[in-house]
Structure 1
Amino acid sequence: MMKKLTLGTLAFGLFLAGACQNTNGKNEEAEKLAKEAIEIHDEIMPQISTFNKHDILIDSLLENLSILKTADVDLDTTETREKFHALKANLESATDKMMVWMKEYAMDSTDVNYQKAEVERISELKTEFEQVKYEAESLLAPFKK
């Protein structure tokens, strides 16, 4: 009986050791994914200050559309106003989504599926940031001095 208990205890101990190693492997994968998510965040986060500057420029341009029209008689102020408002909304939306992501993201989560989903979520946000950045540069370039 003593031998069975010892073998049973040994088998249980090996099972636990294996489970711990498996958990450590998952923790490593989750940590790797968390690092990837943060790297993507760190890459796009500095754009927010540029987006804020664009927002201020758009406000100024919207206030001075009549002056812009005087300088460029072919300027369609209605179309330009709509484009500025749409760009302003896109800039604010991207910035807001980043703030929500940062608030909700649990970097220390060891759930691999959660971390995979968050890498995908921040990657999609990076794509949105790139699109909005391009849109801003294209629309605002003629108005920057």
Structure 2
Amino acid sequence: MMKKFTLGTLALGILVTSACQNTSQQNEEAEKLATEAIEIHDEIMPQITAFNKHEILIDSLLQNLSVLKTVDANLDTAKTKDKFHTLKENLESATDKMMVWMKEYVADSTDINYQKAEVDRISDLKTEFEQVTYEAESLLAPFKK
């Protein structure tokens, strides 16, 4: 009877130890993913300041389209106005998505699938930030002094 108890206790001990190791490994993997998500966030977050400056410039340019037309008689003001509005919407959308991500993100979650999904989500946002930055630099370059 003593052997059964000892073997049962030993088996239980092995199961508990194995489960603890798996949990520890899962926590470690989730932490790595969380760190990756935050690093991507930290890389793109400062761009919001530039986005805000671009929006101010766009507002100024939209208010002064007639002046721009006098400087460049070939300027299609209707087309330019549409481009500025689209760019401003894209800048605002990217900024809003970042604010939502920061509000919703649970950095201390130990759910590996959740953390993987969030790394994907913030990576997609990084791509969007890069596209909007390129769009802004391309469109606004001629108007910057």
| TM score, norm. by length of structure 1 | 0.98
Is 1:19 the counterpart of 2:19 in the alignment? Answer: yes
Q: Alpha carbon RMSD of aligned pairs, Å?
A: 0.6
1:13 offset after TM fit, Å?
A: 1.2
Question: % of aligned pairs identical?
Answer: 79
Q: Is there any run of 5+ residues in structure 2 with no aligned partner, and where? A: none
Aligned to 2:47: 47
Matched pairs, number: 145
SS at match of 1:110: coil
The CA deviation string for residues 16-35 of structure 1, in whole angstroms up to 9 with x for no partner, is 01000011111111100100
| TM score, norm. by length of structure 2 | 0.98
| Structure 1 segments (4+ residues) deviating >2 Å | none
Aligned to 2:90: 90
AA in 2 matched with 1:103: K
CA distance in 2, matches of 1:4, 1:102: 54
CA distance in 1, matches of 2:93, 2:75: 27
1:2 offset after TM fit, Å?
A: 2.4
AA in 1 matched with 2:30: A
Is 1:137 the counterpart of 2:137 in the alignment? Answer: yes
Aligned to 1:59: 59
1:6 offset after TM fit, Å?
A: 1.9
1:112 offset after TM fit, Å?
A: 0.6
CA distance in 1, matches of 2:88, 2:113: 34
